[in-house]
Structure 1
Amino acid sequence: MSEKVYKALNEQVGKEVFSAYLYLSMATYFDSIDLPGFAKWMKVQAKEELGHAMKIYDFLYERGSRVELPALEKPKATWKSPLEAFEAAYEHEKFITKSINTILELARKENDYATEQFLSWFVKEQVEEEAQTDIIVRKLKKLQDSPTGLYMLDRELGSRE
């Protein structure tokens, strides 16, 4: 594995861990405004993001490299509304997609076929991640300020396993 690919994958481990940290912060926001279903959805998402970080972590070790964990910045802690929080989540997922695509382009340039193959799972996963958050954003926009609609969506999101 080239030094460039190695460095990019190490940075991606940090981005995935930060994603978990951000979603956990969003969960605390939702808990604080009495939306436990939204909070549960974000807690499940945080665990999933840690799983993504560990996939890359394990891949680096399988390739004979050592993981170097970067420092994490403090995530935002409050949002004006559930819609604003989910819009932020959607934008963050688009950022992660761009990051994965950049590493994939780098792996291709470096003729690193193993990393290219490994990243194919993440490419597919990011399509799902963006779609999930976008659907919730669209639902929240349709609800506008409906307390009943928000309650129903909270129940729906709380059923995520």
Structure 2
Amino acid sequence: MNTKRLSESMEKALSDQMNKEIHAAHVFLSYGIWADDRGYQGIAKFLFRHAQEERNHSIKFMEYVLNRGGKPKVEAIPAPPEDPESLSACFDGVFRHEVDNTTAIYSIVDKSMEEKDWATWNFLQWFVKEQVEEETLAQDLIDKLKIAGGDRATDESLFTLDKALEQAPDEAPLAQDATADNP
């Protein structure tokens, strides 16, 4: 008896996203190594934590496909981009990568609606919310660097930013959680 509850195209889309999440982990790992090499250990730790989070996202996709009777396919992961030229380029790269990931997830959400695959649609809602958080965190990186002075920031400002990111929470406050008492 066939117990697979995913279409072939949905299984492929979810497998592709699993691999995309692993690629994101490699990108953030690469950026973290770059930051550490330049003395930004706090920024590196922040990026290493997010690399681990992306690996965890990949496992969520893998488990879901397996639980629906499918078999996810591990593909070759593209090499991460070249080292960024600056912290601005690094943080811009993180943001662009998150926006690209959001677009890919939205595409699978659209596909689940077209196929009336409500289990997959429901599964993906966690990722939709997660991507709002990820984009917010990435935008916060860019904003914090701008406040510090951007690529012309003083060593003191960059030291303070580095220490702040080392201790920064891994979650961003989201608009849907805001209240009058907690804006």
The two structures have a TM-score, normalised by structure 2, of 0.86
CA deviations over 1:35-68 (Å, ceiling 9, x no partner): 0000000000000000000001000000000110
Give the Å deviation of 1:142: 2.2
Checking the alignment, whether the CA contact within 8 Å between 1:38 and 1:157 is kept in structure 2 is yes
SS in structure 2 of the partner of residue 71 of structure 1: coil
Aligned to 1:33: 38
Runs (4 or more) in structure 1 with deviation over 4 Å come to none
2:61 to 56, 65, 68: 56
Name the CA distance, whole Å, in 2 between partners of 1:37 and 1:77: 21
Name the structure 2 match of 1:150: 158
Q: Rg larger in 1 or in 2? A: 2
Distance in structure 2 (CA, Å) of the matches to 1:25 and 1:56? 22
Q: Which residue of 1 aligns with 2:100?
A: 95
Structure with higher RCO (Cα < 8 A, 6+ apart) = 1
Over the residues paired in the alignment, what is the CA RMSD in angstroms? 1.0
| Residue 18 of structure 2 corresponds to residue 13 of structure 1 | yes
Distance 1:112 1:70 in 2: 24
- Deviation at residue 160 of structure 1 after TM alignment: 4.0
1:131 positional shift: 0.1
Distance in 2 (alpha carbons) for counterparts of 1:76 and 1:38: 18
Say if 2:11 and 2:71, in contact at 8 Å, map to a contact too. no
Question: Counterparts of 1:67 and 1:5 in 2: how far apart (Å)?
Answer: 11
For residues 88-147 of structure 1, give each alpha carbon's deviation from its aligned partner in whole angstroms, at most 9, with x where no partner exists: 000000000000000000010001000000000000000000000101101112222222
Percent pairwise identity: 34
- How far apart are the structure 2 equivalents of 1:46 and 1:160? 15
Q: Number of residues paired by the alignment? A: 161
Instruction: Give the superposition deviation at 1:76.
Output: 1.7
In the alignment, the residues of structure 2 paired with residue 70 and residue 39 of structure 1 have an alpha-carbon distance, to the nearest angstrom, of 27
8 Å contact kept, 1:20–1:50: yes
Structure 2 residues not aligned, in runs of 5+: 1-5, 170-183
Question: 1:24: which partner in 2?
Answer: 29
TM, length-normalised to structure 1: 0.97
Q: Partner of 2:139 in structure 1?
A: 134
* Aligned partner of 2:121 among 102, 116, 119: 116
Indicate the SS of the match to 1:51: helix
Query: Whose helix proportion is higher, 1 or 2?
Result: 1
Q: Is the 8 A contact 2:12 2:72 kept in 1?
A: no
Query: Aligned with 1:134: secondary structure?
Result: helix
Identify unmatched segments of 5+ residues in structure 1. none
